Structure 1
Amino acid sequence: MKNLKKYLLASLVSLSIISCSEDGIPVANDVTLEFNNTFGTTTIVLGDATSAEATTNTSTEGQVHHFEELKYVISNIRLVNAEGVEFPYNTQNLDEGATIIDQSKEATLKYVLNDIPTANYTQIKFGLGIKEALNTLDEELFPSFYNADLSIHWFWATGYRFAQIEGFYGVDNAPLAIHTGSVLGGDPDDESTWNNADVHARNAYRDITLDLSTDAMVGENSPTITIKADFNKVLSGINTITLETPTEGYTAGTFATKHVSPNVMVEYVDNMAGNGDTDIKGMFSIESVEN
């Protein structure tokens, strides 16, 4: 019995060493990412074609529109501390490090990062979509992510949809659908080499970099970082897009309106997530940091 007590005491001491630093501050804590999807400053309410409650928006081209469905994938999350050191959060594991933000499901608007090392973080980086090396529909490798929402699969292609927006525009509530995702193949500069998948996008993955408005102080605190995604920029971002009746061969509401080539789809992607060069924020910004 005496030996057992000694063993238990030693175990408790070891546990305290593992869970706390010398000054009593935990060596790790959680960080919550909260997503606020807006048109400008107004949080989006979804609705069908005749909804009186749905949040409407007017693009710079004067087109009134609203959304019935709004989903997008966040992955490859990295926090950067005050010394410039990146902490990658399960960046090679979609089950543990990727999530689907779905405006119709409130629970998905918050994503908890577990066991983030104690530090003051000044920046967050993440991907809109899934980087090429992981963008395959692999149920055995990542079963949780694969089955989280089957509607974001390109069933006839190789990977996932990165953003899936459905809604209506104009006085007659014409349907709109903006689906993005990296389904690649052929020469992007030679239309004759594109297959059915290629007309939806070229490389639709984008890395986002955001400076935090206040340091996220992880340790005694478990901060919440609120990230705003302003969907006004989908049509009115670095590219000005006018919604039109799809070209011949496309059914209205089936894929993105004004959808004629991969180059056009990239205009939507660049508006949402930046072009990776002059714009590395796209529609995203830091709304607040609560320690």
Structure 2
Amino acid sequence: MKNIKTLFAIAIATVALSSCNKESSFDYTIPPTVQDAGKVTLQFENYVGNEALQLNHAYTSNGQSISFSEVKYVITNIAMIKENGDQVVYNWDNLNKAGYIIDQAEEASRTFVLDTMAAAKYKSIRFGLGVKKDLNSLTTAQRKSADFYTRTQTKGMQWSWADGFQFAKFAGTYGTNNDELSILIGSGKKGKKLKTSWNSNEDRDAFRYVTLDLPTRPTLAKDGTLKIVIKADLDKILNGENRVTLSEKIPADQDNLDKMFPIVNNIGGRQDVNGKAIIVKKVGSTTENLEGLVSSPANKTGMFSVLNVQ
């Protein structure tokens, strides 16, 4: 069996974990009324290093040949941070209005508008990569977020065996033999078949907050517009703070779970909902930190950065 099929199993196994991060410390600003609103356009552009991503094109990442045939990831819980530190959130828990699937194959999916943002001077933007724990339920979404549920189902961003969404999907080939690449990221709920290996450690959630400083301090006027172009550098998947070698022999069973979090942190950084650095524990331990996981406390961006503000 080719090595990447083992990596695929790792990604699947990772979603058997859930998080209990607290969210009470954030004092979210109530979204402004339309009378005091401007519009902020977000545009996500995928790259590999300094090259704009082309599907089915060969790149080199951490010394390995890699080609992407499918690139999708979910963006939720967007907030703009004012110069004084106050947050202006956009339809915070409404996935129908504020849940987006970035799909490299669909250009229109990479640009969307936040149409009720307060007139203010802003210093940064924050968004979630994936779906936070209290919203990450297919069962609940069918009732409360039917549009988002349908969109993720259509895009293949749901687990078929677990009650949760897929947060990111990177498929294609790698290596000189064009072995199959399939990296899936997400957090689901415990399944019956995984009871013996499931780890209740609250720090093993794949959802991440990403905070990006704006290169300027733009002012959004009443009834005005801003455009923020965000770069997602897919080279960071394998060539981020954690270097990942796809041809490496990966242990079986629960040790696979530990192999996934370097990729999770490369993609989304390791900032939790409270702005604190997530520390990942070993499978089966609530005290021992994961060996070999390099992620500095300052890593809040993962593969994302701001290209420009217009």
Q: TM-score, normalised by structure 1?
A: 0.78
User: Percent identity at matched positions?
Assistant: 37
Aligned equivalent of 2:38: 29
Aligned equivalent of 1:88: 89
Shift in CA distance, 19/109, structure 1 to aligned 2, threshold 3 Å:
closer
Aligned partners of 1:218 and 1:67: how far apart in 2?
A: 37
Q: For the Cα contact (< 8 Å) 1:211–1:286, is it kept in 2?
A: yes
**Letter in structure 1 aligned against 2:219:** M
Aligned partners of 1:19 and 1:101: how far apart in 2?
A: 26
Whether 1:263 and 2:264 are equivalent positions in the alignment is no
Whether 1:179 and 2:213 are equivalent positions in the alignment is no
Q: For the Cα contact (< 8 Å) 1:229–1:284, is it kept in 2?
A: yes
Q: Secondary structure at the match of 1:95?
A: helix
What pairs with 1:37-116 in structure 2 (closer than 5 Å)? 37-47=46-56, 54=57, 56-60=58-62, 62-116=63-117
Q: 1:161 aligns with which of 151, 166, 170?
A: 166
Whether 1:280 and 2:282 are equivalent positions in the alignment is no
Give CA deviations for 1:101-125 in whole Å, capped at 9, x if unaligned.
0000000010210111111111100
Aligned partners of 2:236 and 2:255: how far apart in 1?
A: 20
**Letter in structure 2 aligned against 1:82:** E
Aligned equivalent of 1:209: 211
1:194 CA displacement: 2.3
**Letter in structure 1 aligned against 2:67:** H
Q: For the Cα contact (< 8 Å) 1:202–1:262, is it kept in 2?
A: no
Q: For the Cα contact (< 8 Å) 2:238–2:263, is it kept in 1?
A: yes
Shift in CA distance, 109/19, structure 1 to aligned 2, threshold 3 Å:
closer
Q: 1:145 aligns with which of 144, 148, 152?
A: 148
Give CA deviations for 1:200-220 in whole Å, capped at 9, x if unaligned.
x94100011111012232125
Whether 1:232 and 2:223 are equivalent positions in the alignment is no
Aligned partners of 2:60 and 2:34: how far apart in 1?
A: 51
Aligned equivalent of 1:130: 131
**Letter in structure 2 aligned against 1:70:** V
Aligned partners of 1:84 and 1:192: how far apart in 2?
A: 43
Structure 1: gaps (5+ residues): 1-17, 21-26, 48-53, 251-258
Shift in CA distance, 149/246, structure 1 to aligned 2, threshold 3 Å:
farther
Give CA deviations for 1:40-76 in whole Å, capped at 9, x if unaligned.
11111112xxxxxx2x22122x111010000000011
Shift in CA distance, 233/19, structure 1 to aligned 2, threshold 3 Å:
closer
Q: TM-score, normalised by structure 2?
A: 0.73
Between Structure 1 and Structure 2, how many residues are aligned? 244
Moved over 4 A (4+): 245-250
Aligned partners of 1:194 and 1:265: how far apart in 2?
A: 15
**Letter in structure 2 aligned against 1:226:** V
Shift in CA distance, 179/260, structure 1 to aligned 2, threshold 3 Å:
farther
- Greater gyration radius: 1
Shift in CA distance, 82/246, structure 1 to aligned 2, threshold 3 Å:
same
Aligned partners of 1:205 and 1:66: how far apart in 2?
A: 25
